[in-house]
Structure 1
Amino acid sequence: MRRISGGIILLLAVSLAWSQVQRIELTVRREKVTIVRDSYGVPHVLANSLYGLFYGNGYAIAQDRLWQMERYRRQARGELAEIMGPSALEQDKAARIQGYTEEEMQRQIARLAPELQEALKGYVDGVNAWIEEAKRAGKLPPGYAETGIEPRPWRATDTVAIGVMMSRRFGGLMAAGDLRNYTLLQYLRLRNKENAEVWANDLLWLQDPNSPTTVPPEDDLRKAHRVDPKAALERFKRHAAQLPNIGLEVLLPTLRLASGEAQREFAQRHGLYTHFGSYAIAIAPKRSATGNALFVGAPQMGFSLPHIAAEVHLSGAGINALGMCFPGILGVLIGANDYLAWTFTSGVADFADAFIEKLSPDNPEEYWYKGKWVPFEKRTETIRVKGQDPVQLTIYRSVHGPVVAIDRHNNVAIAWSLSFWDKELEAINAYYGILRARSVADFERACSHIVASFNAFCATRAGDIAYFYCGRPPIRADGVDPRLPVWGTGEYDWKGIMPFEQMPRVINPKRGFIVNWNNKPAVWWENGDTPAWGAIFRVHRLIELATRKPLLTLDDVKAMIVDIAMYDEDAALLKPAMLAIVKRNLNLTPEMQQAIRVLAAWDNYEREGSTGKVIWDAWLDAVRNRVFGDDLGNFFDPNLFRLAIQPSYILYALQGSKAVVPRLFDYFNGKPKEQVLAIALADALTQLKQRYGANMSHWRYSAPRMNWDRLPGVPYTDRGSYIQVIELSNPIVGENVLPPGQSEDPNSPHFSDQRDLASWWLFKPMVLDPGRWER
């Protein structure tokens, strides 16, 4: 009753508070721009012109998040060390090496259509108007005084830099997969040269035709195929044999740079975005109890303070859209307009390759390309470092992209090539098109401009639901194994880009719903350089929940969100196989038998206090170590080892020759599987007794929390950082939540006023009607 009564109180608070609004009016180019803030501080911007609308957008978000915007632009440009000292130097170097010059970003802006340049100018001018007003009124965020700087004027290229950073972080996640794989291979060669390629080939499987897909197989004209692991191994060996023997002392720091690991670590330490995930649910009218499409968008970007995103409503100049935005970037990125709702999830496609450049023995600033020595592009940049002398950084680029490493021993350089290099700003065309979209066809045209790897989803008031896999997949040279780097001498250059029209998509699938949780797009799409998609994947649960009832309500959809946050999909799909095998062991101790009974009775929910969840997690880790650790080692990092030895990989090993993706190496080393699993269970129980004591009933699970400084944590983090739940009725009805709140100011009432909503799995209304905010 406590949970129910608390929820009712919060709902009443949400309902009663909507009369509490704040209103300001700005005069912009002789036009009135109105910004109305609702009871949660969300700005509703009303204007007649495109310039005025985005002026209000920039002004309002700068009011809420100016210091966050300052940190974002410095992070994107590689200028954080100027205010944070040498701790930010590694991240700044990475940003400079992989980023664009001021002139290159200006050229991207110049390629935009005039109306989009006008919108961008409006946003920039609005941000600067607030900066000047805040300076005059003494309202600058305290971060400026604490770091001893004044805010410089906002530039259009600041917005571009942040957009590039976000596109790559969430849409270029596998940007160093082949380099990571080569590093893995070199590590495995040090452990066992004879088996290294076999182990790597097993770890990096290319295709599981049974992995759950976003495009239902019955709606896909292309069919699933299998990849023979033995043939894949031979190709892998041939490719690997051609590569230079680059040492781990070169590869490990290179991987940190190319993968963005240095930037992610810094972001995690300093409360910037660190996470990716995201799920989407679209229910067609024929599966909806009301006859209207239902829709959920839930990007998973971590839980920072302030939130990585903010919320804004833009109404005017042919636009009426409300939803999530990134501070520093104009427009609504995920949300709804009068005709449709939309969202995105990370696509996890392989859009980047490492090219190994052969250096001239006479001039290390030249490389061999298409039959001649070619000079690298070269520039030197200065990084200001607080409390220290400036640092000079020399940056090289080849025809393939930025140079991320130079190996003098092998006389080679490694260049990082991105299929959407210099094209990130095209996404503005997409988001602008979506703001005005009225149909699936409009949404599809807009999505064709998305260059990074994203899954795009929409549901319309007309009753359509749709999915499009977006981005620019490179077409690689014949014979190349996509799991490894290639030589940059010219013969292995990309042959082109896959057309958007040929990529996975589905409109109004037969089963009446679309769900995605970063899973495989279609049965015929391969893993590429990252074994992301296997037999066990979390989207199974969404598919199961969507098919339980013939007709779904909005409350059913909300219940799905809560369910998947608490459900252990890995346990649901892997535990039966592990229990069936270990029960064959006739020498189980009474303690092991008790643990097996607890595991069998456990319903796979990660509830607070669950004993089954604690035993499962410990046993799964012990199985990893006992089955694979003796051969593969721990990859220098137990967390990395845990990530590499996925549940799908364990299942394939347990299934042996019957697996859809059979292993070519016996990781049980001839021992009975039931014996090894029992030993692993004993390991787990020993560890748990040391931690919790001998009484198994005292072993209690504690769910991870959304933790914010100064605020109490909220349990269950496997949820959207921002969540919107929408019924595509006429008019559209929606709810959302963006915890902890809209403002970055701890003294603001909107600093944490959505924290309790998230705690109770509640939402606030999305009010799209501009008349609600007009006088």
Structure 2
Amino acid sequence: MRPRTAKLRTAVAAAAFALGAALLAPLPQASAADPAPVTDYCTGQCNDILPPGENGNATLAEILAHRALGTRPAHSADQMGPYDALAAGAGSLTDAKLNDFFNDASFGVPAGQVESVTRPRDDVSITRDKKTGVPHIKGTTRYGTEFGAGYAAGQDRLWLMDLFRHIGRGELTSFAGGALANQGLEQEFWPQAPYTEQDLQDQVDYIATTQGERGKQAMADAQAYVDGINSYRQKSKDGRYFPGEYVLTGKINAITNSGEIQPFKVTDMIALASVVGGLFGGGGGGEVQAAISLLAAQQKYGLTEGTKVWESFRMRNDPEATLTVHDGTSFPYATKPATPRGTAMPDAGSVKSEPLVYDRTGGAKTAAKTPVSAPAKLKPLQGMYDKGVLPADLFSQKKGMSNALVVSGQHTASGNPVAVFGPQTGYFLPQLLMLQELQGPGISARGVSFAGVGMYIQLGRGQDYAWSATSAGQDITDTYAVELCQDDTHYLYRGVCTPMEKMERINSWKPTVADSTAAGSYRMQVWRTNYGIVTHRATVGGKPVAYTSLRSTYRHEADSIVGFQMLNDPSYVKDAKTFQQAADHIGYAFNWFYADSREAAYFNSGMNPVRADGVDASFPVKAEQAYEWKSFDPARNTMELTPAAQHPQSVGQDYYVSWNNKQAKDFTSAGFGNGPVHRVDLLGDRVAALVRQGGVTRASLTRAMAQAAVTDLRGEDVLPELLQVLRSKPVTDPAAAQAIQQLESWSADGAQRKENAQSSHVYTHPDAVRIMDAWWPLLVAAEFKPGLGDDLYTKLTANLSVDQAPSASQGPTGGHAGSAFQYGWWSYVDKDIRTVLGQPVQGWLPKSLCGGGDPSACRDALLTTLTQAAAKTPAQVYPGDDSCSAGDQWCSDAIIHRPLGGLKFWPMQWQNRPTYQQVVEFPSHR
């Protein structure tokens, strides 16, 4: 906390006075009859949690008070404590204690728990409960219900929604300042969806005109939702209780209240949806890098043997992979063709990435503090956003996150299915998601929605069913090699030399109170073709080409709205079958899970394109009509899609687990390394044991999730094999022997990264954890680099990073992100070491790469690197950052909510679990 100086106390008082008594003014009230209450078939057996808290808006006075005095706005952090405490409390968890760690997710608010009631119109009420402040929105009309949802979204996430609609348009720096992190964000995301305003409007029109009555209703709902946001936007501006970030970024003058919060539009919802879809619902791509690594393998080993080596690392259909649908049912998709056609491999060394940024002036580095036109009282907050209002790596990797554990009723104590599931969307302040309940004509649900697109609940529960999702990541993005003609900006499209379309964003910024980056500007530019966006240039067979990236959901960012509408409609979803039909209307690549009192079910959604016969989806393909997606029409980016029956799905399987793993037999994984060791095994092994025992309860399934959440995947599933190799001969070196003993003790104790006492901030086995973190990258390099060679090893690590430990900063959302062990070489090490040990291995090389196939040489390599790792100090392994001192192991792992505005909160114990999570068991059904 910053010192409580008199200067800052004065700043708080002055700002509060400037904002006036209107900060606390009650909102207009109107009498209206609430709709009749709906029946809640969960009867107290539904729970959820979403840290840090529901309230994501803070006025300027609240931000200043927080920085000066450590105070926090109400309901901004009240879900952090219960969420954090589960790691220590899971061992003694019972069904009766679930409310200690989760919210009661029942419909409605008991009379004694009502904190406030707001009526922004006479046909809707927003009731908030005392414990969490979650909005329960009830409307007597459809329009009123959606208007109320938008109004509540404004109350809870106005600033965040504004940020993300600007990210969706590639205009973050112009809106929030030129900090390098902000530049990085728009440069990372905008090229994926470089839409014009007409493109956004076209998507609105497409939904309204091609999706039937539900499409028309969805766009009417979206307009009502936007109307609600704008109503709150204007009232908060007039009443001076708007988010303080608008002052800190120079949008509104704190003294005169001059300035404006720009009105929201329905096209903003499309821009927001493109951000969400790009973050969590995409899949595939990477074909150029895959081709580069294949060429390196063939250069090293020759054409035939090199291809076999590469396929072993690709693991596109590994026979040992853990499957969500594990009953043997096959769902072939994107499989390797027997005779590939149309593959467009680059000439070796010819690939160059397409430049994005041009005409940069000023602002390249965060400058020294620059005087700005702002009240002197605000200057203590200068530099608050010098690193950007959002983390620079928010879009750096696809978000392969979220998990689900669902057990069918035949294995539970009650005879009803039990589910523990939720999305792992990272930890932000305010959160990207917001909790709400919606009750109105044709809508009855409670759960979460992404801020700004919350006209429907996207993940949550209905009257007698619940649903959730994990990112599926199947291959819905392909790379085409377009042959150039005339010059670098023309290409052959179906035999005609066609100009590329230049897409530009010109952003400029000036210093603000919150961001003192020197004034500057730059231009982002991409070239758009009928086959997608140009990402690389190369030659193929000596001819110049542009490689383009085309995803099936491009120009269809919001089509999934119809599927979400169905999931919220109690007259539509009545059982597992209708749930699957609703999920099939969602175009994003997700795994969907369902539970009611009778059935558990699963369905994989996504706009899976039907590829031309013989096309290998793992590599670039020639941009010729013979190799296009079937029935491809570039005008709207439409194509033939695989029918619902071909998507992985199941009803009534004994149990389902998912942590972004392989979905089903023959359903080809989009990325590298999806093999026998995957973080889903941390769940699957525990759930399978519970099912064998029988009598599964909400508490026992939650315990299984919580135990997996603090377990090191490497320590549980790979370390025992490594130790077996090391113990194959006596260990004479004292330092190595001690390190082995420490690792063995940690392994025997469950290989957990967990405090030895609650809030001690010290792990039970700190030295073993440190050694494992230091050893893994060393042992992987020693095991594989000598055999593969530097060039091939480097190119394969570009396809799949070696490690993603909790303390690593290269994870999907950077350091302190919670999510860990999604990307890494665990399966490679597992298969290779089992080969050394002479154990049965499927889908791997005939000879181990470790030690060149010599068990003794392999052991020496492991022992040498272990000794090196054990000698590393905590400060060397955990070098520290802006939040943690060097050598602070617990803090280095800890979850820290990344500020997207003016507030900052404390770190939490590392837990590898969903950000929003439900625990549900329905005892009855309609």
**Range of TM-score over shorter length:** 0.7 to 0.9
CA contact (8 A) 2:603 2:649 kept: yes
Separation in 2 of the partners of 1:299 and 1:291?
26
Separation in 1 of the partners of 2:430 and 2:448?
14
Shift of the 245–731 alpha-carbon distance from structure 1 to 2, 3 Å rule, reads: same
In the alignment, what sits opposite 1:623? 779
Shift of the 502–173 alpha-carbon distance from structure 1 to 2, 3 Å rule, reads: closer
Shift of the 580–353 alpha-carbon distance from structure 1 to 2, 3 Å rule, reads: same
Letter in 1 for 2:832: A
In the alignment, what sits opposite 1:178? 287
CA contact (8 A) 1:354 1:486 kept: yes
Letter in 1 for 2:559: E
Deviation at 1:70, TM superposition (A): 1.1
In the alignment, what sits opposite 1:280? 404
Separation in 2 of the partners of 1:680 and 1:542?
28
Separation in 1 of the partners of 2:101 and 2:623?
63
Shift of the 352–273 alpha-carbon distance from structure 1 to 2, 3 Å rule, reads: closer
Equivalent of 1:43 in 111, 115, 135: 135
In the alignment, what sits opposite 2:419? 295
**Are 2:263 and 1:153 equivalent residues in the alignment?**
yes
Equivalent of 2:844 in 630, 645, 662: 662
Give the structure-2-normalised TM-score: 0.69
Deviation at 1:210, TM superposition (A): 2.3
Query: What SS does structure 1 have at the residue aligned with 2:116?
Result: strand
CA contact (8 A) 2:134 2:436 kept: yes
Separation in 2 of the partners of 1:507 and 1:500?
14
**Are 2:312 and 1:202 equivalent residues in the alignment?**
yes
In the alignment, what sits opposite 1:400? 531
In the alignment, what sits opposite 2:896? 707
For residues 38-187 of structure 1, the aligned pairs below 5 Å read 38-82=130-174, 83-85=176-178, 87=180, 88-99=182-193, 100-110=195-205, 111-112=207-208, 113-149=215-251, 150-174=260-284, 176-185=285-294
CA contact (8 A) 1:86 1:385 kept: no
Separation in 2 of the partners of 1:489 and 1:581?
52
Separation in 2 of the partners of 1:653 and 1:525?
24
Letter in 2 for 1:356: A
Equivalent of 1:543 in 674, 684, 703: 684
CA contact (8 A) 2:449 2:458 kept: yes
Q: Deviations over 1:701-739 (max 9, x none)?
A: 64721113632211123011111111112489xxxxxxx
**Are 2:701 and 1:609 equivalent residues in the alignment?**
no
In the alignment, what sits opposite 1:757? none
Separation in 2 of the partners of 1:650 and 1:12?
37
Separation in 1 of the partners of 2:549 and 2:716?
39
Deviation at 1:690, TM superposition (A): 3.4
Q: Deviations over 1:545-592 (max 9, x none)?
A: 223321111111221121110223333332232222232235653443
CA contact (8 A) 1:35 1:43 kept: yes
Query: What SS does structure 2 have at the residue aligned with 1:153?
Result: coil
Equivalent of 1:458 in 582, 589, 594: 594
In the alignment, what sits opposite 1:583? 727
What RMSD over aligned residues (CA atoms) do the two structures have, in Å? 3.8
Separation in 1 of the partners of 2:853 and 2:831?
16
Separation in 2 of the partners of 1:252 and 1:613?
41
In the alignment, what sits opposite 1:470? 605
Separation in 2 of the partners of 1:223 and 1:72?
37
Q: Deviations over 1:649-673 (max 9, x none)?
A: 1122234494211226752363523
Deviation at 1:429, TM superposition (A): 0.4
Equivalent of 2:869 in 678, 687, 693: 687
Task: From the two aligned structures, give the one with the greater helix fraction.
Answer: 1
Shift of the 10–169 alpha-carbon distance from structure 1 to 2, 3 Å rule, reads: closer
Shift of the 276–122 alpha-carbon distance from structure 1 to 2, 3 Å rule, reads: same
Separation in 2 of the partners of 1:429 and 1:56?
20
Query: What SS does structure 2 have at the residue aligned with 1:151?
Result: coil
Letter in 2 for 1:98: Q
Shift of the 571–685 alpha-carbon distance from structure 1 to 2, 3 Å rule, reads: same
Equivalent of 1:652 in 825, 828, 831: 831
Letter in 1 for 2:409: P
Structure 1 gaps of 5+ residues are 255-264, 694-698, 733-775
**Are 2:685 and 1:563 equivalent residues in the alignment?**
no
Deviation at 1:614, TM superposition (A): 3.3
Deviates more, 1:705-714 or 1:384-393: 384-393
Letter in 2 for 1:309: L
CA contact (8 A) 2:352 2:537 kept: no
Deviation at 1:69, TM superposition (A): 0.9
In the alignment, what sits opposite 1:520? 662
Structure 2 gaps of 5+ residues are 1-84, 209-214, 252-259, 358-386, 511-517, 631-639, 755-762, 805-822, 876-886
CA contact (8 A) 1:186 1:248 kept: no
**Are 2:321 and 1:321 equivalent residues in the alignment?**
no
Equivalent of 1:21 in 107, 111, 114: 114
Q: Deviations over 1:662-692 (max 9, x none)?
A: 2267523635234323333332233322315
Letter in 2 for 1:609: T
Separation in 2 of the partners of 1:419 and 1:14?
38
How many residues matched?
704
In the alignment, what sits opposite 1:716? 910
Letter in 2 for 1:431: F
Deviation at 1:298, TM superposition (A): 1.9
Query: What SS does structure 1 have at the residue aligned with 2:431?
Result: coil
State percent identity of aligned pairs: 23
CA contact (8 A) 1:224 1:523 kept: no
Deviation at 1:385, TM superposition (A): 3.7
Deviation at 1:266, TM superposition (A): 7.8
Letter in 2 for 1:320: S
Equivalent of 1:359 in 484, 487, 491: 484
CA contact (8 A) 2:298 2:306 kept: yes
Letter in 2 for 1:539: V
In the alignment, what sits opposite 2:464? 339
Separation in 2 of the partners of 1:209 and 1:252?
40
Separation in 2 of the partners of 1:14 and 1:565?
19
Q: Deviations over 1:149-201 (max 9, x none)?
A: 23200111111111121112111143x22123134456778989888656533
CA contact (8 A) 2:710 2:753 kept: yes
Query: What SS does structure 1 have at the residue aligned with 2:588?
Result: coil
Equivalent of 2:794 in 626, 635, 649: 635
Separation in 1 of the partners of 2:393 and 2:831?
38
CA contact (8 A) 2:280 2:400 kept: yes
Equivalent of 1:370 in 494, 515, 521: 494
